[in-house]
Structure 1
Amino acid sequence: MDVWWKKPLRIIQPNLQVRDTALIDPSRLAAQLEEMGANTVVFNVGGIYAWYPTEVPFHKQNEYLPADRDLLRDVIDACHKRGIRFIARFDFSKAEDAVYQQRPQWFVRDAAGEPQVLGAKRPGAWSLLMSTCTNGDYRRDGVAVPVIKEVLARYPIDGIFFNNPNFLPCFCDRCKRKYLNYYGEKLPENASEFQKDWATRCLKDNIDYLHQAIQREASQIPLILYYNLYKDNLDDRAATAEMLCTEPQDVLSLGHRHIPEFWKPALSIKLGRTLPDYPNPFGIVHSCPGMDWRHTGLPPAEYRFWLCQITANGGQIWHSLTGVPDTITDKRILEVVKEHNAMVQKVEPYMTGTEPDNQVALIWNAATSAEGWAEAFLEQQVPFDVLLPEQVEAGRLKHYQAAVIPEALAWNDAFTDAVKRYASEGGSLIVEGVPDREDVSDFLGIEPETYTSEPLIASYMRFEGAAHPLQRKLEQTELIPHRGKVTYCRPLPDTEVPITLVPPFSPLESVGAPPERASMAVRRTEIPLVMHARCARGRVVLLPFSFSQLIQEYKLGDHYQLVRNLIDYMAGGSLAVEVDHAPGVQVTVFRKTDGVLIHLVNGAGRRPLTANLVQRQLSVSIDKAWLNSTPVQATAVMTGESLSLKEEAQRWHITLPELGVWEAIWIRL
């Protein structure tokens, strides 16, 4: 069915402040949203506060609403007149203390039986907010369902979004009874001892119930739900919602030492796109550098970089702003939003109908071991997709020329069978860490018996042999840094060992004391750090140490280069799309029947970015065999500039004269 919410959307959400209600001019707001490039708005409707005259008991009405008109209806009508879709935002995670006093059974209790109170120390004449129980009636027939029914009956909304439908550990009597019913045991007194799926079960039960209520009242209304990069089951989320969103916040207020990783938007969207036949996920980007600084904006250069990763990885942009344009004091935010949406509009026709077309897959296990690989791929301009282990089991790995399995990923029987089949049919695997299964030893090219080292410091990786592909661009050094534990393996006779361990030459306290004694006691061993084994028609490279941890912790160029060399080696020498190495530039590749779209996002510089550093004369090349058609034209989508196509040997070459923060190259076939 061709429905509006399966078409490209550009959302702006004004995070409304109740005291600013009188400053909201519906017609002016709709005009401002249109001018900034939005075709959809997310607007407060109900939950903590009703932004309309509600008749549902215990649904607190915004006391600042105008008495002489229905503000919500006016906003909806003004938006619809300009072709802007209206998504109703509900938040049933909290309620005022007056509700708690009348229905205390609806609220979260800690292990001591006390409710969770928010805002007790907040200055000003505010009531307290209390957290509602995921299993309680406030989130079901007590308030949530009647509110949804009331809104659907009164207002022509286009969609529903549940803000913050989170699970909080609760020890109320209803939760105790439900836990006993599910698991046949008492609810533990410590939340860390809850069954692993308890939180997911509670949240899914609640969202299922609300989703069914929506469908009964208005089956054409889509529901939007959050997903999380680290802990959610995407299939569960998709089963109870028509669209998914994620919120990769750039929380600079955490301090520079805790600054969010640059890849957070890219990885979040890549994960959301793993669901087949599902609308592209939304990436919610808050304009502020943290909720404690929500009344100011991100540095514009940093903000642009963060936003551009959403669409360049196949997501849909969702701008979250503190207030309406007239109340926002940092007007730079509005300029960045308008500028970004204009770029999104330019690229939308080209992105419509495309699918990612990358040769490399990273199996996502929501751990630092996967993060290190992702960081190196992005830093080295390796276009890649993210796959979940269950998607590997379903056979989706066969579409990739090379795949990386990070350390600490659980190899169950189905996963093991799937990766063995993939390699035997010609795939190339890079395996980090030795799986805890004896039946994979032959497959990995090692003897079954292994030993784990102590944490090694002052150790090195040594390239063995001459002119090995893994040493490309590292030819002038035979050693690169190593640190951490190693699983000592004995390779099988046919297993190649291109990199070995140089053991520590000193304990840490004496590495330079005195320097005259810093020479190595052992310069070469036969202890493998990289092993290469053949597997029927495919290949397996095993790294029996935490390579990703080295990347994440030290961010050394030698480690990034070795990752690139591993990928090129396993992909047959070069990737289908190659971009000259440009630190800070991310590459994503999409394809459809009449062309290929290559996104380049530029995050060069020390973060948080204070300027978008222009990259000049970037060279892009495309493998002829992969393209499988003669290109007719190459165009820089953002600038509209026609780019020359040059044919050399087995590749087509394009030079991009200049890259600001984001460009997309359309190659028409």
Structure 2
Amino acid sequence: MRLWWHEPFRTFQTNLREIDAGLDVDRVLDRIEEFGANAWLLSVGGIVSNYPTDLAAQTRNPALAQRESGDLVGDAVSAAHARGIRLLARMDFSKVDRRRAEEHPEWCFVGPDGEWQVYNGLTSVCPSAPYYQRETFAVVDEVLSRYDVDGFFFNWASYNERDYSGRYRGVCQCLSCARAFGGPLPAGPDDPGYPRWRRFAKDMIDGFCARMRERIAARRPEAPLIMGDTADIVFHEANNAVGRPLWHHRTSEHVSTARTYRPHVPVFTNAVGFVDMPYRLAGEEPEHVAQYLVQAISRGANPSTYVMGTPDDARYECLDVAGRITRHHRDHQHVYTDLVPAARALLVRPDLLAPDPAIPEFQGLYRALLERHVPFDVLGEERLADCGGLGDHTVVVLPDLGALAPGAVAALDAFAGAVVTTGSSGFDGSAAQLAGSPVHERLAVRDGVEAVRSMHLLPDGAGAFPVPVVGAYHVVAPADGALTAMRVLSRAPYGPPEKCHGHVELAQPGLLRSERVTVLPWTVGRAYREVGLSAHRDLFVDAVLAAAPAPVAVETDLPDQVEVVLGRSRAGLVVHLVNLTGAGPQRFGPPVTVHGSHLRIPWADRCARVRALRAGVDLTVTERGVDLPPLELFEVLVIDGEM
């Protein structure tokens, strides 16, 4: 039986305050239907129970007295189901009140200083401790015994190293953690045991999630758990935060990572309608929320919009554009049904739990591929060994990943396409790990600002211009038969102009290539991320295009800032064109409308029918592909007749 959440769906989340328990459920549901959503994510239990709980571990919301029934959840489930709207239960088990903390100190987070983590009168609990491991199951059982809820979402199910103010509180030292960890607990990131603890923490949450999923499925199999990798639906919150540098592609990256790993597991993207939790009365910039949602649906996620309080309380200008995008998703349900990744290039994201993941390298290569209109999917490094999706791609890119795990090496060696590596990827000490590598051995590493300052690479060809090496360069000896390109211009003094000379051309290459592996032994992505020279971008992308055994890029004259995302659904090949021309420092502004561009996918069926959904027109296919209608925020092309 196909479960409901394997069809596209759209959610509206009301993150309720205690004072909202008297809300008019029919008025809220009117707004949700107008918005285009067919699911309501409602605050149900945990810190505060919005139903008359009988469990000692929960606190009934005193504001339930405002309701004739005394039961917000019961009223909401009945009214939502009468309209065919799903009711999803938001649970928050991260904290308890002071009385319960005093009664059950064994539940509580204990910091390295021996103190509990108390914030605004609430005490954080530890996922290793009995509250998570026992009491939460009793709460979920109580909800399931009373209400036919259609799913569960658990908020902030994690080891809370930071509190709501962003203050670092350290690694929990409670007795349950000490027993489960099986060794001295680190205090924080500066301790040698911290990387191991991070993996322990993830395993504990994944284990809890898997057990909870089994419990819910046994009681109500039609109610999914929305949470992490072991849940029925993978959750991603698209949000902004004061003081956090904005990565403009964060939503697209996270959704792609999940969908590439498990294409048939739904992803739920919750777009936050306000600026930041401390500023939750201030609505987010409309164009910013629009990017959350467009990036989400383009990669195959189910869109959700999140407000504080009720729709009447949330005076957010961004809700207008969020509703338009949500209704687009509703009106083209068939296009988003079974939408899975379909790019030919794969970019591997560094393992985020690694001690020092090469995020700048990854982000630089991400931007380079996007700007040169090479559609690509993203996969986490930790998934290389257990992901069967490599065979669906033509070329895999490894961004400065360092030594690879044996399972990853085996998967890449079995991959039939091309592999392109940058920086340290695939080097274990002096050895090159990948079969068929053009590198015989690594001889030395120049890593750090001073180690490569004033070092350049000179591309081949008459009239080529030197490009700077930024980050790291790995000195390697080519394997027999390897093709090499680019030459290193050594470091030279810098400072007063009179002394700025002395670069020496070395026999060290900037690119090596064999039949299936291409190596750029320097951090070209980091260079592009930090300096922004198109020469860095083009050297990398040209290497990818040359390595790929089949075309991977589309042919277009769209601006660099338009992302091309390829997917395949029941409707055929689906092409999302996401207009990022409004991206600016720490913000999104209105995109510039793009006129008169064309697009051609070399491997697409030239006889297929092409329809532009946003424009509502069929496009004529010519030798240069299709002439595109004016592109505003986004366009969706559906190509029928595909394979």
TM-score, length-scaled by structure 2: 0.89
SS at match of 1:45: strand
> What residue in structure 1 maps to residue 617 of structure 2?
641
The aligned amino acid for 1:657 is P
User: Which range moved further: 63-72 or 186-195?
Assistant: 186-195
> What residue in structure 1 maps to residue 523 of structure 2?
546
Structure 2 residue 346 is matched with structure 1 residue 361: yes
Does the 8 Å contact 1:224/1:242 carry over to 2?
yes
State how far apart, in whole Å, the 1-side matches of 2:402 and 2:275 are. 33
**Deviation readout 1:212-253 (Å, 9 max, x if unpaired):** 432343233211114xxxxxxxxxx32xx21111123233x2
Residue 329 of structure 1, CA deviation: 2.3
- Give the total of aligned pairs: 610
Structure 2 residue 150 is matched with structure 1 residue 158: yes
The aligned amino acid for 1:645 is V
Does the 8 Å contact 2:344/2:394 carry over to 1?
yes
Q: How does 1:568-583 map to 2 (within 5 A)?
A: 568-571=545-548, 574-575=551-552, 577-583=554-560
**Deviation readout 1:64-111 (Å, 9 max, x if unpaired):** 122522222222222222211000111111011121122222111123
Structure 2 residue 240 is matched with structure 1 residue 250: yes
User: Which range moved further: 434-443 or 132-141?
Assistant: 434-443
SS at match of 1:53: coil
Seen in structure 2, the aligned counterparts of structure 1 residues 521 and 223 have a Cα distance that, compared at 3 Å, is same
Residue 46 of structure 1, CA deviation: 0.2
SS at match of 2:63: coil
Structure 2 residue 598 is matched with structure 1 residue 619: yes
**Deviation readout 1:182-209 (Å, 9 max, x if unpaired):** x3x4545667425343212332343344
> What residue in structure 2 maps to residue 387 of structure 1?
379
Structure 2 residue 579 is matched with structure 1 residue 602: yes
State how far apart, in whole Å, the 2-side matches of 1:35 and 1:577 are. 37
> What residue in structure 2 maps to residue 501 of structure 1?
488
> What residue in structure 1 maps to residue 629 of structure 2?
657
Seen in structure 2, the aligned counterparts of structure 1 residues 657 and 506 have a Cα distance that, compared at 3 Å, is farther
> What residue in structure 2 maps to residue 225 of structure 1?
227
Structure 2 residue 468 is matched with structure 1 residue 481: yes
Residue 490 of structure 1, CA deviation: 2.6
Seen in structure 2, the aligned counterparts of structure 1 residues 618 and 346 have a Cα distance that, compared at 3 Å, is farther
Seen in structure 2, the aligned counterparts of structure 1 residues 657 and 94 have a Cα distance that, compared at 3 Å, is same
The aligned amino acid for 1:457 is R
**Cα RMSD over matched residues?**
2.4
1:407 to 367, 385, 400: 400
State how far apart, in whole Å, the 2-side matches of 1:207 and 1:584 are. 38
Residue 591 of structure 1, CA deviation: 2.5
Seen in structure 2, the aligned counterparts of structure 1 residues 555 and 137 have a Cα distance that, compared at 3 Å, is same
Does the 8 Å contact 1:12/1:42 carry over to 2?
yes
Seen in structure 2, the aligned counterparts of structure 1 residues 477 and 292 have a Cα distance that, compared at 3 Å, is farther
1:374 to 344, 351, 366: 366
> What residue in structure 1 maps to residue 639 of structure 2?
667
Residue 665 of structure 1, CA deviation: 0.8
Residue 431 of structure 1, CA deviation: 4.3
Seen in structure 2, the aligned counterparts of structure 1 residues 560 and 190 have a Cα distance that, compared at 3 Å, is closer
Seen in structure 2, the aligned counterparts of structure 1 residues 198 and 659 have a Cα distance that, compared at 3 Å, is same
Seen in structure 2, the aligned counterparts of structure 1 residues 217 and 293 have a Cα distance that, compared at 3 Å, is same
Does the 8 Å contact 2:373/2:554 carry over to 1?
no
1:443 to 433, 436, 440: 436
2:458 to 457, 462, 467: 462
The aligned amino acid for 1:480 is V
SS at match of 2:62: coil
1:170 to 164, 169, 172: 172
Residue 384 of structure 1, CA deviation: 0.8
SS at match of 1:297: coil
Seen in structure 2, the aligned counterparts of structure 1 residues 483 and 178 have a Cα distance that, compared at 3 Å, is closer
State how far apart, in whole Å, the 1-side matches of 2:342 and 2:332 are. 17
Does the 8 Å contact 2:255/2:267 carry over to 1?
yes
1:397 to 372, 390, 399: 390
Structure 2 residue 491 is matched with structure 1 residue 527: no
Seen in structure 2, the aligned counterparts of structure 1 residues 165 and 551 have a Cα distance that, compared at 3 Å, is same
State how far apart, in whole Å, the 2-side matches of 1:388 and 1:598 are. 23
State how far apart, in whole Å, the 2-side matches of 1:158 and 1:426 are. 42
State how far apart, in whole Å, the 2-side matches of 1:609 and 1:209 are. 40
SS at match of 1:198: helix
> What residue in structure 2 maps to residue 555 of structure 1?
532
Gaps of 5+ in 1: 120-127, 227-236, 467-475
State how far apart, in whole Å, the 2-side matches of 1:328 and 1:426 are. 50
The aligned amino acid for 1:635 is R
Identity level (%): 25
> What residue in structure 1 maps to residue 166 of structure 2?
none
Seen in structure 2, the aligned counterparts of structure 1 residues 481 and 63 have a Cα distance that, compared at 3 Å, is same
Seen in structure 2, the aligned counterparts of structure 1 residues 618 and 345 have a Cα distance that, compared at 3 Å, is farther
Does the 8 Å contact 1:464/1:497 carry over to 2?
no
User: Which range moved further: 188-197 or 494-503?
Assistant: 188-197
2:329 to 335, 341, 344: 344
The aligned amino acid for 1:668 is D
Seen in structure 2, the aligned counterparts of structure 1 residues 523 and 656 have a Cα distance that, compared at 3 Å, is farther
SS at match of 2:312: coil
Structure 2 residue 318 is matched with structure 1 residue 333: yes
State how far apart, in whole Å, the 2-side matches of 1:449 and 1:35 are. 61
TM-score, length-scaled by structure 1: 0.86
Residue 493 of structure 1, CA deviation: 4.9
Residue 59 of structure 1, CA deviation: 0.9
